[in-house]
Structure 1
Amino acid sequence: MKILFTTLALIGLSTLGLQAEEAKVAAGNLNFTLPASGWTSVPTSSPMRAATLKIEVEGAEPLEAIFYYFGPGQGGDTKANIDRWLGQFASPPESKTEELDANGTKISLVTATGTYNDGAMFGPKTPKADYTLLGAIIPGPDAPVFIKLTGPKDAVAKITEDFKKLSLSPFAAK
């Protein structure tokens, strides 16, 4: 019995140095690497969603990042999507659009803060003050992937850098 416990203890110690496999989510023929902790893939709630992530944020309710992929020729161009996202605010939000370079692939990242009109596209809206929208438009092999996340400004600020890394991850050097 003592030998069994010793063997199990040695096996346990020898596996401490092993790295856990990185969590990934696929959308539109691209594979995205999830940030190290607090980001998990959950079942989608709509056929329009390619993937959904739940993000644990200290001191806040969990956030949700939604991946959209509509296929070749669908989903609109970058400007149309940015305009649509900004139009989801009660009045023009404080916003900026950045172009990120992912090893030669240009990714558009939108950050907008203001009173966000939350709700389904054609349903009633609930105004939410001091909300931030993070949006990424990522070119895919045949069509773009769109990632959208909204939440309280302070909570979103805590995960903005991880959102950028997620957006760049399909093109990260291996």
Structure 2
Amino acid sequence: MRRFAATFVAVIAVFSGLAMSSAEEGAKVDVIKLSEGKITLPAPASWERKQPRTRIVEHEFAAKGPEGTSPARITLMGAGGGVEANIDRWVGQFRQKDGSSSRDKTKVERAKVGDTEVHVVDISGVYQDSPGGPFAGGRVIPREDYRMLAAIIVTPKSGHYFIKMIGEADTVEANAKAFREMLTKLNVK
């Protein structure tokens, strides 16, 4: 009887552990919903959800980088204007230390995720941070060795959506793979 009881307890412990690890794994998936749930994608487990700093931002996250670096800021929001106009605006938020053109150093990729067009923009340099937002005017803080990895999701029914990760270049690099993997799981209804 003792052997049965010990075996029973061991089996329950194993199944409880499996159930807990499955629940923990399930809890790690933070599904980001845009356009009233018509656009969804999973946030990388390493990103920490934050309260958006401004009302225009629908979702905000922080992504940690290598030791000694600051977290990158990730924002998701609906967008107005055309794809090229927004890319030009983002390029204008960067300058190069050597005086060369930021546009020439910007990488833009156009891809399809299912039937959805996605433009991925990668810019590095001195970021002209405008704490009040790009249209607020006011003081600008130059942030050296920064990088923006961003995506413009183009949908016929829901319009354009931005996903932007901005931070120290090393931090953005540490999170670039997770950012791109997230885009491959984009679902548009």
Long gaps (5+) in structure 1: none
Pairs within 5 Å for 1:11-160: 11-15=15-19, 18=22, 20-21=25-26, 22-28=29-35, 29-35=38-44, 37-59=45-67, 60-70=69-79, 75-91=80-96, 92-93=101-102, 94-119=105-130, 120=132, 121=134, 122-140=137-155, 141-160=157-176
Instruction: Return the index of the structure with the highest Cα Rg.
Output: 2
- State the percentage of identical aligned residues: 23
Q: Secondary structure at the match of 2:145?
A: strand
Per-residue CA distance 1:20-75 (angstroms, 9 max, x = gap): 2222111223112112x3113222121110111121223222211011114xxxx1
Instruction: Give the RMSD, CA atoms, in angstroms.
Output: 2.5
Distance in 2, Cα, partners of 1:153 & 1:62: 11
Q: Could you report, residue by residue, the CA deviation over 1:89-118 in whole angstroms, capped at 9, with x for unpaired residues?
A: 135322110012212322000001111101
C-alpha distance in 1 between matches for 2:74 and 2:149: 9
* Equivalent residues, number: 166
Match of 2:9?
6
Runs of 4+ displaced beyond 6 Å: none
Name stretches of at least 5 consecutive residues in structure 2 with no aligned partner.
Answer: none
**Structure with greater helix share of residues:** 2
**Is the 1:130–1:153 contact (alpha carbons within 8 Å) kept by the matching residues of 2?**
yes
Q: Does the 8 Å contact 1:38/1:57 carry over to 2?
A: no
Q: Offset of 1:6 from its aligned partner?
A: 3.0
- Asked if the contact 2:70–2:168 (Cα under 8 Å) also holds between the matched residues in 1, the reply is no
Q: Cα–Cα, structure 1 residues 155 and 86, in superposed 2: closer, same or farther, change >3 Å?
A: same
In the alignment, the residues of structure 2 paired with residue 27 and residue 41 of structure 1 have an alpha-carbon distance, to the nearest angstrom, of 15
Taking structure 2 as the reference length, the TM-score comes to 0.77
Provide TM-score, normalisation by structure 1.
Answer: 0.83
Judge which range, 124-133 or 90-99, deviates more.
90-99
CA distance in 2, matches of 1:107, 1:6: 52
8 Å contact from structure 1 (residues 25, 41) kept in 2: no
